[in-house]
Amino acid sequence: MKATLLEIDLHNAIRQQDELALSKLYFMYGEQIVSLLKYLFQEAAAKDEADIYQAVNDAFLGYYRNPDTFNPKLGSLLAFLRVAAKRDMLNIISGQKKHLSREKLPPNVELQENFWNRITESDYCTDAAIITEETLEQIDKLFRRHFRTDMDIALAKMIISGERKTELYSEVLGMEGLGIEEQTASVRKHKDRIKQVLKRHNVEAEIKKLIP
Amino acid sequence: MSTKLKLLETAVARLEQDPDSMASVLKKYGESENLSAAELVSYFDCSEETYCKLALCRVLNVEAADFPKKLNTLSEYTGISAALLNEVIKKVHLIAQFSRVSGKRFSVAARDKKNEAGDDRQE
């Protein structure tokens, strides 16, 4: 999906250093992207919400200061910012992990910070990442059109991806406590139900159409 | 506090160090008038969200020919009176100019003093 006219206007305003542009950007997409990160990084959000805000600010201010990293012909601004914010959140988490692992080192061990042991993350949102993000979003929308609950969507995704292990389906269905025979029977029943919906709406073919 | 307001406040806090942002202008104005951010919100007679909306804007160039036009646009966008915005922006601009001039004077005076001391030694 390409950038909308509203996004193109805002992008041009940012490039021309319009006085209101950054403020408009925050009001247009700020809340939406914070909610997405809170959903994707639930554990990190529960630990310290400030990291989520930092990641969103890094993404927005990074784009604001280097607007040419976004190409409106290749994708939407929303998808670009979502990818950038997720990348910045992953960088924050990896930075924290690195810091924690350093703290655990015995005092006489010297960690040599050089090119070879430095973890580097790309500073750019690749076009491929944006396209993948948008395709996944469209596939998710497709599933939501046919299934009402997150559990059914998870089961449908497992069936489409060819998953066969009963214990994994049981886990999704929350039936780990039941006996094996009972689990197998129930999993089969749920799988049949989901497969019927997938077949009736030709979901697999629809997904293939969405993949570029 | 809402998610939106928390995000806006953290963004404003980061932009306070950026001299091109209204966040930095508002901070300097608050310091000069001894007003906190909460007091500035009352001063502008607006909500906290509107205050952030203003702070996230780029600072207007007081010396540009289209300053009055842009001031009106900013006032329309934020709903804050153009007269108040004009006062705040121009005062901070004056403070910046004053500190630049007094900084220069100070360095010229220091240089002269140094030269005089050097002359004394030569004599």
Tell me the chain B residues in contact with residue A35 when contact means C-beta distances shorter than 8 Å: 3
Residues 6+ positions from A75 with CB-CB distance below 8 Å:
A1, A2, A3, A127, A130, A131, A134
Residues with Cβ < 8 Å from A160, sequence gap 6 or more? A198, A203, A204, A207
Chain B residues close to A21, C-beta within 8 Å: 58
Q: B93: exposed, middle or buried (C-beta count within 10 Å: 0-12, 13-18, 19+)?
A: middle
Interface test with B, best of A15, A29, A53 (most B CBs within 10 A): A53
Which of A20, A30, A61 lies nearest to residue B14, judging by beta carbons?
A61
CA distances from residue A80 to A20, A44, A69, A132 in whole angstroms, order as listed:
20, 22, 9, 11
Phi-psi region of A162 (alpha: psi -120 to 50; beta: other; left: phi over 0): left
Residues of B in contact with A57 (CB under 8 A): 7, 10-11, 14
* Under 8 Å between Cβ of A124 and A185: no
Q: How far is CA A11 from the centre of its chain?
A: 23
As a whole number of angstroms, the distance between CA B94 and CA B87 comes to 10
B10 interfacial to chain A (CB closer than 8 Å): yes
- Using CB atoms, pick whichever of B10, B56, B70 lies closest to residue A23: B56
Q: Does B25 touch chain A (CB under 8 A)?
A: no
Q: How far apart are CA A135 and CA A206, in angstroms?
A: 12
Asked if A26 and B7 count as a contact pair (C-beta separation under 8 A), the reply is yes
pLDDT band at residue B18, thresholds of 50, 70 and 90? Answer: very high
- pLDDT in 10s for each residue of chain A, 212 residues: 688 999 999 999 999 999 999 999 999 999 999 999 998 888 888 888 999 999 999 999 999 999 999 999 888 999 999 999 999 999 999 888 877 776 665 555 444 444 444 444 444 556 666 777 777 778 888 888 888 887 888 888 888 877 778 877 887 787 777 888 888 888 999 999 999 999 998 888 888 777 76
* Interface contact B62, partner A, CB < 8 A: no
Residue of A15, A19, A27, A38 to mutate when probing chain B, most B C-beta within 10 A: A19
pTM of the model: 0.65
Interface check for A61 against chain B (CB to CB < 8 A): the answer is yes
Tokens of A39: 């959903």
pLDDT at B121 > cutoff 70: no
> Does residue A54 sit at the B interface (CB-CB below 8 Å)?
yes
Is B4 in Cβ contact with A31 (below 8 Å)? yes
Residue A20 in contact with partner chain B when CB distance is under 8 A: yes
